[in-house]
C-alpha cells in the first residue's frame, strides 16, 4: 500500500521511543511524509495533547514527569513546561487535555487525582484545580467556552462543569467505564465511548436526555465526521466501525491487525485514520488510512516509536 494519501491536513501524534524518550510528530497527509519531528527529552511519556488553530503551538501531557510540555511547532522545539502537581506537590499523572475555544485555557485530567487542572496558556502557569466526584479521563469544552465535560470513568458518569463558578453542576450516568468523549460542533450533542458497556452514549446537552447505541465490542476511541453524519469507533478487538447517526446503526466495519488507541477523520471528511495501540514488537507504529464512510483500507502511514495518541488538524 502507498504511504501517501491525497487529502489535506496534518496528523499529529505522541509516541514513546526506545530509551525512555518522548516524541511528537506531524505527518503531511498529502505526501504521507513526516514534516515535524520533536524529541521531547528523556524520562518522558507523552499522552494526550492539544494543537492551536494555527498549528504553531502544542501542549502535551507528560504522565511520567507530571507536567505539560509546551512545543513550538514552527521551530520544532520544546519551549518550556508547566508542572501539573498541586500546590502541595502531589502529582496527577496527566493523560488527556482540552483547549478552550479562545485558546487561553487548557483543561487537564489525571489518572491519580479526582480533579480537573486548569492552565493559563498565555502566561504558561497552572491556575487551579476543580474538584471532581471521581477520576476522569476524556475531556472537552463547549464551543462558547462556558462548560467543560469530563468522562468520570470510575463512577460511570459524565461530569458537567461550569467554568465561571469552577463547580461540577451535574453528573450523568452514561454507562460502564466511559473513557473517550467527543462533542458536536454546536455543542448540542455529546458522544461517549463506554468501554465496559459495549455502547456509545448519546447525550443531549440541553435536556440531558441520554440514548445508547449498542455495540458488539468495547469501544476504545471515537471520532465524529466533519459532516456529523457518522461516528467512527475504534474497538478493542481490532476493528473500526462506522455508525450512521441518523439510524444509530453500524453500517460499515473493518478488522485491523491491532486495536486502535486513537481514531480521527480528515477535515474534508475523505479519510479515517486509526493508530495502532501500543504495538508490541518492531516499530514504527502503523496508522491505517481508510475511506470514509466505508472504512475500506486504502493506505498505511508510519509513526516513529510506540504510538500513544493521535489527532488530525487542517
Q: How far is 192 from 194, CA to CA, in rounded Å?
A: 6
**HEC profile for 15-28?**
EECCCCCEEEEEEE
Question: CB of 11 within 8 A of CB of 286?
Answer: no
- Confidence at residue 145, expressed as pLDDT on a 0 to 100 scale: 98
d(CA 193, CA 219): 6
Q: Number of helices and strands (H, E) in the chain?
A: 0, 28
Name the pLDDT band for 1 (thresholds 50, 70, 90). Answer: very low
pLDDT band of residue 8 (cuts 50, 70, 90) is confident
* DSSP state letters, 133-191: SS----EEE-TTSSEEEEEETTTTEEEEEETTTTEEEEEEE-SSSEEEEEE-TTS-EEE
pLDDT at 282: 54
pLDDT of residue 6: 53
Is residue 130 within 8 A of residue 116, CB to CB? The reply is yes
Distance CA 73, CA 58 (A): 7
Q: How far is 176 from 231, CA to CA, in rounded Å? A: 19
- Name the pLDDT band for 206 (thresholds 50, 70, 90): very high
Which of the residue ranges 38-42, 265-269, 276-280, 300-304 would you say has the lowest mean pLDDT?
Answer: 276-280
Burial of residue 97 (number of CB atoms within 10 Å: 0-12, 13-18, 19+): buried
Residue reference for cell 514527569: 65
Q: Count Cα neighbours of 279 within 13 Å in the Cβ-side half-sphere.
A: 25
Quote the percentage of the chain above a pLDDT of 70: 96
pLDDT of residue 279: 62
Task: Check pLDDT > 50 for residue 225.
Answer: yes
E strands of 215-258, at which residues? Answer: 219-224, 230-235, 239-244, 249-255
**Across residues 291-306, what is the average pLDDT?**
94
At residue 89, the pLDDT reads 67
Which residues, 6 or more positions from 314, have their beta carbon under 8 angstroms from its beta carbon?
Answer: 8, 9, 10, 267
The Cβ of residue 238 has, within 10 Å, a number of other Cβ atoms equal to 18
Rg of the Cα atoms in the chain = 18
Strand partners of residue 290: 272, 297
pLDDT band for position 4 (50/70/90)? very low
Is there a contact between 259 and 240 (Cβ–Cβ < 8 Å)? Answer: no
Q: Are 73 and 57 in contact (CB under 8 A)?
A: yes
pLDDT tens profile 126-140: 999 999 999 999 999
CA pair distance 38, 71, nearest whole angstrom = 8
Amino acid at each position: 500500500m502507498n504511504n501517501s494519501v491525497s487529502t489535506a491536513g496534518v496528523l499529529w501524534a505522541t509516541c514513546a521511543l526506545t530509551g525512555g524518550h518522548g516524541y511528537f510528530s506531524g505527518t503531511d497527509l498529502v505526501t504521507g511524509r513526516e514534516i515535524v519531528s520533536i524529541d521531547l527529552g528523556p524520562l518522558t511519556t507523552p499522552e494526550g495533547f492539544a494543537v492551536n488553530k494555527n498549528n504553531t503551538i502544542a501542549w502535551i501531557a507528560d504522565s511520567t514527569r507530571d507536567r505539560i510540555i509546551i512545543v513550538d511547532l514552527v521551530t520544532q522545539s520544546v519551549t518550556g513546561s508547566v508542572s501539573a502537581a498541586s500546590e502541595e506537590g502531589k502529582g496527577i499523572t496527566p493523560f488527556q487535555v482540552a483547549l478552550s475555544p479562545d485558546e487561553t485555557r487548557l483543561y487537564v485530567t489525571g489518572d491519580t487525582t479526582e480533579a480537573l487542572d486548569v492552565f493559563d496558556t498565555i502566561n504558561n502557569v497552572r491556575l487551579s484545580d476543580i474538584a471532581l466526584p471521581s477520576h476522569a479521563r476524556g475531556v472537552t469544552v463547549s464551543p462558547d467556552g462556558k462548560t467543560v465535560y469530563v468522562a468520570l470513568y470510575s463512577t460511570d458518569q459524565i461530569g458537567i462543569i461550569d467554568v465561571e463558578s469552577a463547580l461540577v453542576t451535574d453528573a450523568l450516568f452514561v454507562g460502564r467505564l466511559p473513557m473517550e468523549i467527543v462533542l458536536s460542533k454546536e455543542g448540542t450533542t455529546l458522544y461517549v465511548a463506554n468501554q465496559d458497556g459495549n455502547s456509545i452514549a448519546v447525550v443531549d446537552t440541553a435536556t440531558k436526555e441520554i440514548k445508547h447505541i449498542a455495540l458488539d465490542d468495547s469501544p476504545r476511541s471515537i471520532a465524529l465526521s466533519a459532516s456529523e453524519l457518522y461516528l467512527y469507533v475504534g474497538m478493542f478487538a481490532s476493528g473500526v466501525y462506522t455508525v450512521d447517526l441518523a439510524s444509530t446503526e453500524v453500517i460499515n466495519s473493518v478488522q485491523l491487525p491491532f486495536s486502535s488507541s486513537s481514531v480521527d477523520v480528515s477535515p474534508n471528511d475523505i479519510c479515517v485514520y486509526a493508530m495502532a495501540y501500543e504495538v508490541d514488537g518492531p516499530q514504527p507504529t502503523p496508522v491505517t488510512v481508510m475511506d470514509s464512510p466505508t472504512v475500506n483500507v486504502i493506505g498505511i502511514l508510519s509513526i516513529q516509536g510506540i504510538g500513544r495518541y493521535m489527532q488530525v488538524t487542517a
